[in-house]
Amino acid sequence: MPASAGWGLEEEPLPASELDRGFELEVYHLLTRRLGLDTTRYVRITRFGNTILITGMVPGEADREKVEDVVLEVAGIRREVPGTAAVVPARTRNCGGKVVTGNARRKQILDSNADCSALRAAPEEPATGRLFNHLDLISSEPDRQTAAADMLAAQARYALVEAGYTRALDRDVMRLASQGSMLYVLARPEPALQSEMRAVLLQVPGVTDVRFYTE
């Protein structure tokens, strides 16, 4: 079952963005405890609904897999097919009789065929999601590179707000992350709006490409 510390179990359902933030914090906590700060200080975890993005840098190739393994464990998921982004619950039986973590819409008791993961889904719908691992290996000046990536994402949000997309700061509507000169947008925009947003973001100094992960 997921290595959950209990987020998402409140009687009053939390907004999806708060559940996402709780998940990110739980992953960071377990990453630091398991792998140490030397391995995880430059790692960034971004969740938007059932889409999870891992960005940043790690010391070695094996660390990429270790970080991903922790994310999978906390979420209680597995890759549906190795080498693809699609993820599904790692278990659907014998989940310990616990309330579904992070799934305020169902609040099922896990004692039979229920979903053991932290994925969210409407009743009677399959729980599926996607996990993208874009971790790079640490090269030179990792502190400077990480700070620059964080700043680029902040500048991108500012550019969207300046262009009239005032909900760019709403975590329930959109999440932004960056890796080097690449911007990742986790959102649910219409195709036409997505094209407009891409044009705005490509004007941000330092951005060379924009990739949308939409649900």
- Domains with residue ranges and CATH for the chain: 16-133 (no CATH), 140-214 (3.30.300.130)
Closest to 52 in 3D by CA, of 131, 119, 129 = 131
Between CA 120 and CA 122 the distance in angstroms is 7
Question: Please, what's the b/e burial string for 161-189 (b: 16 or more CB within 10 A of its CB; e: otherwise)?
Answer: eeeebeebeebeebbbbbbbebbbbbbeb
Determine the average pLDDT of the residues in 151-169.
95
* Phi and psi at residue 99, to the nearest 5°: -65, 145
Determine the average pLDDT of the residues in 110-114.
44
Residue 137 in this model has a pLDDT that exceeds 90: yes
The predicted structure's pLDDT at residue 101: 43
Q: CA dihedral in degrees (163, 168, 67, 14; nearest 10)?
A: 180
Least confident of 2-16, 45-59, 139-153, 188-202: 2-16
Least confident of 29-43, 46-60, 78-92, 93-107: 93-107
The predicted structure's pLDDT at residue 73: 94
Residue 121 in this model has a pLDDT that exceeds 90: no
The predicted structure's pLDDT at residue 99: 39
What is the model's pTM? Answer: 0.84
Closest to 85 in 3D by CA, of 120, 134, 15, 37 = 134
Q: How many CA atoms lie within 13 A of 30 on its CB side?
A: 20
The predicted structure's pLDDT at residue 166: 87
Residue 117 in this model has a pLDDT that exceeds 60: yes
DSSP-assigned letters across all residues of 23-49: HHHHHHHHHHHHH-HHHHTTEEEEEET
Determine the average pLDDT of the residues in 103-109.
39
Residue 201 in this model has a pLDDT that exceeds 70: yes
Residue 154 in this model has a pLDDT that exceeds 80: yes
Percent of the chain with pLDDT over 70: 84
Query: Mean pLDDT score of the chain, rounded to an integer?
Result: 85
